[in-house]
Structure 1
Amino acid sequence: MSLDLLLVVFAGVLGLLVGSFSNVLIWRLPRGENVAFPPSHCPQCDHRLAPRDLVPLGAWLSLGGKCRYCRAPIKTRYPLVEGLTGLGYAVIAALFPFTTYGAGTLGLFVLFTLLLVASAIDLDTYTIPDELTLPGVALGLAFAALNTRSGAAEAGLPTLGQALQGALLGAGLLVTIDLLGSWVLRRFRERQYPETPIGYQQISLGLLAGAWLGPWWGLGVALASAAVNLAARRAVRIPEIVTLGGFLVSVMLGSTGFGPGLILMVQGALAAAGGAALVAGVYWWLRREPEAEEDAPFDPSAMGFGDVKLAAVIGAFLGWERLLVAVVVAVFAGAVLGLAQLALRRENRVKFGPYLALGAVVALLWGGGIVAAYRGMLGL
């Protein structure tokens, strides 16, 4: 057996074990429980599970899908998550072998786990926990730094600079869709409940400023606005007709060749908005008060903020080019499958996280070829 094949088998076994732990994350994170303590137990009878009850796939099959102690049914999601993780790790190890990609392969394992856990939680709760996405962005940047040092970047994985750009553009693209879509849902009326000190108003301001000043100055303007809110101890309103309307006018001017140019303006705007969104995400994660959050009033939103941060994770691990592939696939899949879901179940909310995860997997497996083909069409 060759070394690469042996590593693929090892990766599959590792995936089964990680899949078992992923089920713990899927159950405990939305409930705010510690993921390490208490030890694994049956959610029905609360009996502590023995090691033989935790064997991936085998325990569920040997028990006939029922708890050994109370005979309550065990969700089929448990073996499904374990099996998908094992298969996913094996495929990644085969396509991105350790001998070529080194730590980059481990990074892709982490990305796959984050995507699967986020999708399962989103399907259950319509939320994607910050405990997954925000550390996930940091992990993506850390693995990108290792890619730069190990040579995996030459094999197709992003460098640290490309990962940072991907994270900012990923968050910026989705938060811009959210901003504009929410503005339309409110029939272009102003937000009734602006966040303070930092929130959507500062992100909108960063979007406008980034178009003209570039990403870092745009982010600086957004943070300066947050500082004003802190000093005033209230939300100093920034009309969206100025920020979002100004951004749309800026794009129109850029398309005519005015200012820095359309491409630079859009890149600067999205990156600045993405940076402001991630800063806001970290701030509210650290300041979160679950009980107050449940009762807090909110304005209509076109997209969950968890999706924004998940897009940043994808951009950090895959870079901005494959991120764009992931978003296009997610939008197409969401449009087709989401409409079918709405028709069959009559739901008025679409869980976009799983579509983003699907797009990321497509981008990981075929994104390089898609980007190369697109460049060939443009003669680049």
Structure 2
Amino acid sequence: MIAAIAGVTGGFGLLIGSFLNVVIFRVPAGRSIVNPPSACGGCGVRIRPFDNVPVLSWLLLQGRCRDCSARISPRYPMIELLTGLVFAGVALRFAPWEALEQSSLAAMGPVAETLAFAVLAAVGIALAWIDLDTQRLPDVIVLPSYLVVGALLLAAAAATGDWGALLRAAAGAAILFAAYFAMAFAYPAGMGLGDVKLAGLLGLALGWLGWGELAVGGFGAFLLGGAFALVLVALGRAKRGSGIPFGPWMLLAAAVAVFAGEPIWHGYLQLVGLE
């Protein structure tokens, strides 16, 4: 049962990943994500539905356009596969099917919670790639995500009566937003306002889960990003003070916090003798 639902959720994630490829390509360019339909960048021929099956079509076409043999980047199936795996992971992490066996309103709480983190996962994957490509975190993606994720967490709190989690989520959003805003104000060359807005969104989700997850996600971004920067400097790929996109590290740390934040936090408290 669990494997079947995770498989179905992962399959849906593959489809979402295909859409995210469009978002990643078009949003930074200010283009519509609806029109025109996807077409080959080489010959301009519209992509046929049977050539638009996530991952499978790329494999069958051997990474080439059917009409002009132009190379199709392996990044497309990689994003589709990543989204599928993350969606399956979200389904396993929050296990909403257990609640669906109940007939009460409270059963809708885990469903709304799962949807909130699935939306955050999709948004996070798109933002990470856009930031890597353009060093931007577009408001047109980040700001509506506050409303969608917030509304789903509100629905989860209303269904379960866990208003404390909702208050903690609001506090988490405020804490991370304020912390990143202070850093951006103090050192604008090293932290952009896009990072500040993303921090509030991540704080909203991580605060919902717990203070430990919020701490792991908040501090983890600097540990991961700093370690990566040191590796680049050691390899001669960057110099001290070189800017790197920070959004992907914020999102990666948030993912670690969602899936393993609680044991990491308790392990840290035990290490320093606070637990």
TM (norm. structure 2) is 0.87
Change (3 A) 1:159 1:356: same
Q: CA deviation at 1:375?
A: 5.9
- Unaligned runs of 5+ residues in structure 2 are 100-109
- The SS at the match of 2:27 is helix
Instruction: State the match for 2:274 in structure 1.
Output: 378
- Cα deviation digits, residues 261-312 of structure 1 (max 9, x gap): xxxxxxxxxxxxxxxxxxxxxxxxxxxxxxxxxxxxxxxx221211111111
- Cα deviation digits, residues 323-360 of structure 1 (max 9, x gap): 32112111011111122234443362111011001100
Aligned positions of 1:328-339 closer than 5 A: 328-339=219-230
Q: CA deviation at 1:152?
A: 8.9
Aligned positions of 1:159-174 closer than 5 A: 159-174=165-180
Instruction: State the match for 2:106 in structure 1.
Output: none
Instruction: State the match for 1:75 in structure 2.
Output: 73
Instruction: State the match for 2:55 in structure 1.
Output: 57
Instruction: State the match for 1:282 in structure 2.
Output: none
- Percent identity, aligned pairs only? 35
Q: 2:201 aligns with which of 285, 306, 313?
A: 313
- The SS at the match of 2:87 is helix
- The SS at the match of 1:346 is coil
Tell me whether 1:357 sits opposite 2:251 in the alignment: yes
Q: Which stretch shifts more, 84-93 or 173-182?
A: 173-182
Distance 1:153 1:28 in 2: 39
Instruction: State the match for 1:346 in structure 2.
Output: 238
- Unaligned runs of 5+ residues in structure 1 are 183-300
| 1:171–1:312 CA contact under 8 A, matched in 2 | yes
Q: CA deviation at 1:46?
A: 2.0
Instruction: State the match for 1:239 in structure 2.
Output: none
Q: Which stretch shifts more, 21-30 or 105-114?
A: 105-114
Q: CA deviation at 1:70?
A: 1.8
Distance 1:335 1:93 in 2: 31
| 1:118–1:353 CA contact under 8 A, matched in 2 | yes
| 2:190–2:243 CA contact under 8 A, matched in 1 | no
Instruction: State the match for 2:150 in structure 1.
Output: 141
Instruction: State the match for 2:41 in structure 1.
Output: 43
- The SS at the match of 1:159 is helix
| 1:11–1:86 CA contact under 8 A, matched in 2 | yes
Higher RCO by CA contacts (8 Å cutoff, separation 6 or greater): 1
- The SS at the match of 2:143 is helix
Instruction: State the match for 2:263 in structure 1.
Output: 369
Distance 1:59 1:339 in 2: 39
Instruction: State the match for 1:327 in structure 2.
Output: 218
- Cα deviation digits, residues 163-216 of structure 1 (max 9, x gap): 22222212111111122224xxxxxxxxxxxxxxxxxxxxxxxxxxxxxxxxxx
Instruction: State the match for 2:31 in structure 1.
Output: 33
Counterpart residue identity of residue 48, structure 1? R
Question: Structure 1 segments of 4 or more deviating over 6 A?
Answer: none
Q: CA deviation at 1:20?
A: 0.3
TM (norm. structure 1) is 0.64
Counterpart residue identity of residue 264, structure 2? I
Change (3 A) 1:164 1:131: same
| 1:140–1:163 CA contact under 8 A, matched in 2 | no
Distance 1:303 1:334 in 2: 12
RMSD, aligned CA: 2.0
- The SS at the match of 2:7 is helix
Q: Work out the number of aligned pairs and report it.
A: 256
